[in-house]
Amino acid sequence: MAATSPVSPISHQLLSRSSSRFWNNAMTPRFCSPVFSISPCLIGVAGIGSASQLRARHPLISSAATTDYLLHDVGATVAVLGGAYALVLSFESLTKRNVIPQSLSRKLVHILSGLLFVISWPIFSESTLARYFAAFVPLVNCSRLVINGLSVSPDSTLIKSVTREGRPEELLKGPLFYVLALLVSVLFFWRDSPTGMISLAMMCGGDGIADIMGRKFGSEKIPYNPRKSWAGSISMFIFGFFISIGLLYYYSSLGYLQMKWETTFARVAMISMVATVVESLPITDQLDDNVSVPLATILAAFVSFGY
Ligand SMILES: C/C(=C\COP(=O)(O)O)CCC[C@H](C)CCC[C@H](C)CCCC(C)C
Ligand SMILES: Nc1ccn([C@@H]2O[C@H](COP(=O)(O)OP(=O)(O)O)[C@@H](O)[C@H]2O)c(=O)n1
């Protein structure tokens, strides 16, 4: 694709190699963004050679690239942390103004937090350290949940938005396991593996929808677990499947994944079925859904996709 910018063709080629893939795809380099891509421009202007060869010959460029990535990832971390805080605050406000009931508010926070977090991963840089910056977001929220769960300094907004009965110690169960699942997905799977994103699609999207649909339409209970219903489980399977496929398509379109779609649909359907069956089991008192569902999904996805 010819560069339509003052950036030379060489820079354009190097942009697509060395700069953040997301910004390159999303912004079709019409200019060298002063924050996100200055180093490839420097490299391009410096002349012929691969980005890594040029960095090796020009320590200044290497440090410029490192600084570029560092600024990029710090900015992305601050933005996503702000998004997390704003999400909880928004739903707490909607609940306080009786726009939506607290139980629905909590479930929407359950569904949206994790899915928006997965969707935000491409805004981090291509650096090998980017996942650790992304992991800082669930890490901060883990700390927030523990501090509030132990009532060290209770944050009423968080407690109202995230607990069932408004008791701080509730934060140390479902919500904490939920955020730990986000942390595991970033650290061990990230955006170049289907496993982590499918586990979050099932825990956040599938399990979250199961609660909403099950409470509303769940008159027919599951024989082996009267606390769960066919409506809830069928909803979890369907929504979990389509949200998983949506995330895989999103990351494939950005170039992070290369899926063999002729087999991917069947694999994801099998994984969604495993997660749905595990979620329906009468084990919630022994093992929280936010542990059993992601664990079962990770196991099934890793066996099915191999990475
Ligand atoms: C309500 C939550 C879990 C309860 O699960 P369950 O008991 O109903 O099964 C979700 C708790 C969310 C947490 C307080 C905030 C997590 C934020 C996340 C790490 C980053 C989101 C960023 C994005 C851009 C909004
Ligand atoms: N498969 C499911 C899951 C939940 N539900 C409904 O949603 C409520 C909450 O489900 P849950 O105990 O799994 O809630 P979380 O642990 O996901 O927060 C249940 O008490 C059911 O009324 C359902 O009917 N069928």
How confident is the prediction along the chain (307 residues), in pLDDT tens digits per residue? 343 333 344 344 434 444 455 544 444 333 333 333 434 444 444 444 455 665 566 666 667 777 788 999 999 999 999 999 999 999 999 988 989 988 899 999 999 999 999 999 999 999 999 999 999 999 999 999 999 999 877 778 888 888 888 899 999 999 999 999 999 999 999 999 999 999 999 999 999 999 999 999 999 999 999 999 999 999 999 999 999 999 999 999 999 999 999 999 999 999 999 999 999 999 999 999 999 999 999 999 999 999 9
- pTM > 0.90: yes or no: no
Please enumerate in sequence order all residues whose Cβ is within 8 A of that of 54, keeping only pairs 6 or more positions apart, or say none: 43, 46, 47, 61
Around ligand 2, the residues with Cβ closer than 6 Å are 174, 207, 210-211, 214-215, 218, 227-229, 232-233, 236, 279-280, 284, 289
Q: How far, in Å, from the CA of 233 to the mean position of ligand 2?
A: 9
For 169-227, the three-class secondary structure string (H helix, E strand, C coil) is HHHHCHHHHHHHHHHHHHHHCHHHCHHHHHHHHHHHHHHHHHHHHHHHHCCCEECCEEE
Given the cut 0.85, state whether the ipTM is greater than it: yes
Rounded-to-integer distance, Cα 168 and Cα 212, Å: 23
Nearest-atom number in ligand 2 for the CA of 212 is: 7
Instruction: Give the number of other Cβ atoms within 10 Å of residue 6's Cβ.
Output: 10
Question: Where along the chain do its domains lie?
Answer: 63-188, 190-307
